[in-house]
Amino acid sequence: MKIDAVDFYYLSMPEILDIGDGSQDALLVRVQAGEHIGWGECEAAPLVSIASFVCPMSHSACKPVRDSVLGQRIDGPDDIRRIGDLVRAQSLDLLQADHTLSGIDIALWDLVGRQRGEPVYRLLGDHSATPKLPYASQLFGDTPAETLQKARNVRALGYRVAKFGWGSYGRGTNQDDANQVFAAREGLGDDGVLLIDAGTIWLDDVEVAALRLDALHACRVVWLEEPFISGALAAYRSLAALAGSVRLAGGEGCHTYHMAEQMIDHADLGYIQIDAGRIGGISVARRIAELSRARGVTYVNHTFTSHLALSASLQPFAASEPDAICEYPVEPRQLALDITSEHLVPDADGYLHLPDGPGLGLEPSLTGIAPYLVDVEIRVGGKTLYRTPKL
Amino acid sequence: MKIDAVDFYYLSMPEILDIGDGSQDALLVRVQAGEHIGWGECEAAPLVSIASFVCPMSHSACKPVRDSVLGQRIDGPDDIRRIGDLVRAQSLDLLQADHTLSGIDIALWDLVGRQRGEPVYRLLGDHSATPKLPYASQLFGDTPAETLQKARNVRALGYRVAKFGWGSYGRGTNQDDANQVFAAREGLGDDGVLLIDAGTIWLDDVEVAALRLDALHACRVVWLEEPFISGALAAYRSLAALAGSVRLAGGEGCHTYHMAEQMIDHADLGYIQIDAGRIGGISVARRIAELSRARGVTYVNHTFTSHLALSASLQPFAASEPDAICEYPVEPRQLALDITSEHLVPDADGYLHLPDGPGLGLEPSLTGIAPYLVDVEIRVGGKTLYRTPKL
């Protein structure tokens, strides 16, 4: 087979709110090779990611992603990895390329899986997928009272693990933040596992971050996620040394294998969180899952969008028993739900199962996404380089 | 003052060749605040960088760069740094944002410098600019015979330091590569300082890279640049341990302060090479220049485009005596020369001087760039988000 077409579909809610909710738009990718198709999703700014697929070449190491993908042979997993390497070499100076590649790589794994009738995790070498304990991932409420109610809701829905993040956390006083964390603990009950996400708010300021540790300890928080930006390794290490039983989590901002490797090796993380839609796709995510296991750092997916993205993000660590929990967005916008007609839903015991179907095991619903499709046109030098394709 | 307008100008040669020559296109930025203007340049894929300025918001940490720049107060250097921090926070998940910010940051320094009648280096705290010894930076010839001729040419022009890179280097046999390096040494003469640039060709493969060391030693090469991609810190360290008198250079791919910090701290570099047009502008480049001096790693600019970009890239280490050499592209395309009517040219003793004029000390020639202006239009949801502005 060879890659005949790559189509990008930019989807958006009618209104985008200025909140930390990444499910308000999406960029789907459909790859065609002969009669076979596969779907993927970039967790990335849609317009910019499309531009990096179609832009004119600047020089030999700053080519559009398209030049390393269209027309390539795709007979199996080795070709997917080879295409990824080619994109990284030929788009070395095109920063956005990793985000664009991510959706393409996912779509290629889906395509090969469907063609062979195998789920992606089996192509990756895992015989079966271990059920994961999903953690209910959501934003803090605007007030502690709202957070309390949110935590009660997810407990009532049967979630044993919950994460609250973003919103006002880290933007007010230490006491404001403590009130939020205590509210989450109260709503979740004594036996729930509580995770807190600071959304990189302290950049690399260890001192300010450390002020929050008392409340996190008092509320038995299991991880503090992204106190700092991904590259601030020394800050992560310093805070980890102060944090005792509260382990640090991070890594969603990583867009290369080496960036994640450095976080695993030098940030003293308890948990490395990888978004397959940013890191370069399932191929790179899998390498990091293997590395983190070897290093004793727990691998967790980062997913805050559709169930297509959720399936993609679970494939790289499907069979890893030590990596037992997974992120599960519980308050996605309608768009994220409408992308697929089938959804991954926890079973009666609260566990999430990867689908057995070929490829990612679920696919976009064309009627579901049609209302969200954004009309885009990019013209350069009198030529149309991109126009939103028909569904 | 407040920022009233930011305009991007995408310039391109009529034909882009598939070679490692980054001077074939350019992205200029003009910032206006009241009656004041400043110019900068992104060393980045133009269309993608424009898209990251104008794209619709995806969520609170994935906003277009525009949202953190337009309307901001700009009364001095602290505002420039504040705007950079704001872009990094509000465009956290927009990978291309660092490249787009770079040109804006440079233009803001130029604007404040012109408004105050001071060169940028003085705004950065340096009293005067030390002359730099420019190294003649160019691609290898297609054959060793061509490289020999190129090296003879730059020697005849009076350059005492020369760098050859990219082309076929690392793509053929070890002997092919050795032939190229010996040709460069022969042409440059015994007393010339020779630098070699591998253009990340070995990714992170230490073993293959190490095969080249014998020829580099035999030719008394002072630095081997970018044997690996920027994040491959362990590979850099391992090769450095084998390389003896040949020091490693790298860093042009860094797009954040922390990425460069990690290379300085963990890659065992002799030379850290920063492109102000990629790293986030002069503000971030300056911080790295200070850090590298404290760590005993020599700071060098990376510049392969216009003399506007050259001036911007020299400002951050203008007064640093230990950082004595600078990259100087000797074979730029006509576009790169036509961007400014004035040029930075070595003096009779072979030294390069930063201009004394306010801001960057030179400015784009509107008549020079007009023939290269690329017509771009980006439409989303029926609205034009970008159209090439009139010069």
> Could you give the CA distance from residue B111 to residue B98 in angstroms, rounded to a whole number?
20
pLDDT tens for each residue of B6-46: 999 999 999 999 999 999 999 999 999 999 999 999 999 99
Q: Which residues of B touch A138 (CB under 8 A)?
A: none
- A197 touches B: beta carbon within 8 Å: no
Contact B59 A375 (CB under 8 A): no
Predicted local distance difference test score (pLDDT) of residue A42: 98
Taking all residues of chain B, what is their mean pLDDT, rounded to a whole number?
Answer: 97
Local structure of B112: helix, strand or coil? helix
State how far the Cα of B179 lies from the Cα of B36, in Å rounded to an integer. 53
Q: Do A258 and B233 touch (CB under 8 A)?
A: yes
The string of DSSP letters for B31-95 reads EEETTEEEEEEE-S-HHHHHHHHHPPP-BTTB--GGGGTTT-B-SSHHHHHHHHHHHHHHTTT-T
CA atoms of B59 and A21, how far apart (whole Å): 6
Chain B residues with CB-CB distance to A99 below 8 A: 95
**Token pair in block for residue A213:** 């540790």
Distance CA B41, CA B308 (A): 7
Cβ of residue B66 closer than 8 Å to a chain A Cβ: no
Q: Cβ of B378 under 8 Å from any chain A Cβ? A: yes
Beta carbons of B311 and B355 less than 8 angstroms apart: yes
User: Minimal Cα–Cα distance from A59 to chain B, Å?
Assistant: 6
Residue A322 in this model has a pLDDT that exceeds 90: no
- Residue B96 CA to residue B101 CA, distance in Å, equals 9
pTM for the full predicted model: 0.98
User: Considering only CA atoms, which of A15, A5, A78, A16 is closest in space to residue A38?
Assistant: A5
What is the tens place of the pLDDT at every residue in A47-106? Answer: 999 999 999 999 999 999 999 999 999 999 999 999 999 999 999 999 999 999 999 999
Cα A317 to Cα A296: distance, rounded to the nearest angstrom: 14
Nearest CB partner across the interface for B98, out of A24, A95, A166: A95
Question: B95, B138, B140, B376: which to substitute to probe chain A, counting the most A Cβ within 10 Å?
Answer: B95
Decide if B94 and A45 are in contact by the 8 Å CB cutoff: yes
Residues of A in contact with B306 (CB under 8 A): none
Nearest CB neighbour to B259, from listed A54, A199, A231: A231
Q: What percent of chain B has pLDDT over 90?
A: 98
For residue A129, give both structure tokens: 């997928």
Burial of A237 (0-12, 13-18, 19+ CB in 10 A): middle
Beta carbons of B59 and A200 less than 8 Å apart: no
Q: Chain B residues with CB inside 8 Å of A27's CB? A: none
Which of chain B's residues have a Cβ under 8 Å away from the Cβ of A381? 374-376
- At A323, the pLDDT band (50, 70, 90 cuts) reads confident
Cα dihedral: B145, B149, B151, B153 (round 10): 180
Instruction: Report the first-to-last Cα separation within chain A, whole angstroms.
Output: 23
Which residues are registered as beta bridge partners of A42? A27
Q: Identify the band that residue B141 occupies on the pLDDT scale cut at 50, 70 and 90.
A: very high
> Is the model's pLDDT at B323 over the cut of 90?
no
3-state DSSP of chain A = CECCEEEEEEEECCCCCCCCCCCCEEEEEEEEECCEEEEEEECCCHHHHHHHHHCCCCECCECCHHHHCCCCECCCHHHHHHHHHHHHHHCCCCCCHHHHHHHHHHHHHHHHHHHHCCEHHHHCCCCCCCCEEEEEEEECCCCHHHHHHHHHHHHHCCCCEEEEECCCCCCCCHHHHHHHHHHHHHHHCCCCEEEEECCCCCCCCHHHHHCCHHHHHHCCEEEEECCCCCCCHHHHHHHHHHHCCCEEEECCCCCCHHHHHHHHHHCCCCEEEECCCCCCCHHHHHHHHHHHHHHCCEEEECCCCCHHHHHHHHHHHCCCCCCCEEEEECCCCHHHHHCECCCCCCCCCCCECCCCCCECCCCECHHHHHHHECCEEEEECCEEEEECCCC
* B383 shares contact with chain A (CB less than 8 Å): no
d(CA B67, CA B92): 13
With pLDDT > 70 as the criterion, what percentage of chain A qualifies? 100
Looking at chain A, the whole-number percentage of residues with pLDDT higher than 90 is 98
Give CA–CA dist B240/B264, Å, rounded: 13
With bands split at pLDDT 50, 70 and 90, how would you rate the model's confidence at B217?
very high
The ipTM of this complex is: 0.97
Interface contact A229, partner B, CB < 8 A: yes
**Alpha-carbon distance B87 to nearest alpha carbon in chain A (angstroms):** 13
Q: What is the pLDDT of residue A60?
A: 97
Mutate to test the interface with B, among A58, A66, A226 (most CBs of B within 10 A): A58
Nearest to B48 among A51, A233, A374 (CB): A51
Closest to B130 in 3D by CA, of B357, B358, B352: B352
CA distance B128 to chain A (A): 32
Question: What's the pLDDT score for residue A321?
Answer: 87
Residue B321: which pLDDT band, with cuts at 50, 70 and 90? confident
Per the prediction, chain A carries an average pLDDT of 97
Burial class (CB in 10 A: 0-12, 13-18, 19+), A41: buried
DSSP-assigned beta bridge partners for residue B31: B6, B38
Q: Which residues on neighbouring strands pair with residue B386, listed in sequence order?
A: B378
User: Rounded distance, CA B101 to CA B83, Å?
Assistant: 9
